[in-house]
Structure 1
Amino acid sequence: MLVGNDIARAAGIVKTGGVIAYPTETVYGIGALATDVGALQRVYQIKNRPLNQPLSIAVSSMEMLKSVAKVECEDFILKFLPGPVTVILKKNKILPDILTARSKYIGIRWPDNKMALDLINQTGPIVSTSANLHGEKDPVRAEEVKIAVDYVLDGGPCRYGAPSTIVDLHEYTVVRKGIMYEEVRRYMYGCGCATED
């Protein structure tokens, strides 16, 4: 397995259908083009992840986010992203069904990590699922990535070293408690329109 800090090389692998691991502020993720069905099939195989469990994706701007999903609660997005929060929104047709396990909704990360953002700026939207075998410990350093990806983009240790909080912005509920959960909860319940998770 190749390991290095060459963003252009990592982006080139992704753009030609390859699969990489890359750093975020939470944990290391698997990167593959969000619109490449063949690459997405490889992600499921590499992770040994059931096909009925959707994958999240990562973007690097509001413009890119709007290209893949229908934006709801833009005030929430602008407050917490980029950052360690995943938002669930209704997907646009550009995203293949395999990505979302045929759901109409997609989990989206906008990471607060310069290396990840530089990568995504070069590739467009990529998968953002933890770079581990399904159900195993999330890697927070490049050397902890043990799965069979084509390249590991080494960005050093992840700032938080724990998963993101997941928020369904269609239902306005917290789906998973993670980094920044308390801040997210205070914001959501402060406006009086959230329901208990």
Structure 2
Amino acid sequence: MDLIDKAVSILMHDGLVVYPTETVYGLGADAFSDEAILHVYEAKQRPISMPVSIAVSDFEMLCAVAHVRPGMQDFIQAFLPGPVTVILPARNSVPAILTGGTGLIGIRIPSHERALELIERFDAPITATSANLHGSKEPQTPDECTVPRELLIDGGRLPGIPSTVVDLAERRIIRKGAEAGKVEQYLSSL
């Protein structure tokens, strides 16, 4: 069994997997399992009222979990896959705990080969929160991944700049991170 198969098996049993992205290490769990999502909150010691983003492998999977309104698709196609998280209206299939009661869900399509392979083989969204305790530094290296987990997929040293978070309904940046300048320029041209 290769490493990705092992990771998929862990995800299928509500376990936690740390995986590399093009920004920082992420903490992955089955985004449709309430039990797995609770494990993420516990592992990170994160307040349950705070939303958790998810990662998908392609635009089709993104549309299965979020409502993409006219005009949003162009932005998504311009920046994803990549180091940008888009906030969109969540579909009913998304567990309410992930939205923090907002009805909105943060979604990434990572451009890191191992992250995409993991999501594709799992064939469903996974959580996409950083693999650190709530409030501490985002992990760039495996040693900095301080959360309990069943498996870590080593991607070496990562850039360490978190994704830029964009609320597409409001057309505004929530958190500046990787590619923030390009995102600002794109939004100002609308």
Distance 2:62 2:100 in 1: 19
1:60 aligns with 2:57: yes
Distance 1:146 1:185 in 2: 32
Distance 2:185 2:7 in 1: 38
Distance 1:97 1:134 in 2: 20
Distance 2:144 2:44 in 1: 14
> Which secondary structure state, in structure 2, belongs to the residue aligned with residue 29 of structure 1?
strand
Matched with 1:126 is 126
Give the deviation of 1:144 after TM superposition.
1.7
What TM-score, normalized by structure 2, do the two folds share?
A: 0.95
The letter of the residue matching 2:7 is A
RMSD (Å), alpha carbons: 1.0
Q: Aligned match of 1:41 in 38, 47, 59?
A: 38
Matches within 5 A, 1:81-120: 81-120=80-119
Distance 1:64 1:190 in 2: 28
Matches within 5 A, 1:1-197: 6-72=3-69, 73-123=72-122, 124-158=124-158, 160-191=159-190
Regions of 4+ moved over 4 Å: none
Deviations 1:59-97 (A, max 9, x none): 010000000000131000000000000000000111111
Distance 2:89 2:112 in 1: 25
What TM-score, normalized by structure 1, do the two folds share?
A: 0.92
Q: How many residue pairs align between the two structures?
A: 186
Distance 1:157 1:71 in 2: 34
Distance 2:45 2:10 in 1: 21
Give the deviation of 1:143 after TM superposition.
2.2
Gaps of 5+ in 2: none
The letter of the residue matching 1:167 is V
Deviations 1:34-79 (A, max 9, x none): 0000010010000000011000000010000000000131000000
The answer to which of 180-189 and 143-152 deviates more is: 143-152
> Which secondary structure state, in structure 2, belongs to the residue aligned with residue 175 of structure 1?
strand
The letter of the residue matching 2:120 is N
Distance 2:139 2:160 in 1: 8
Distance 1:116 1:142 in 2: 15
The letter of the residue matching 1:144 is E
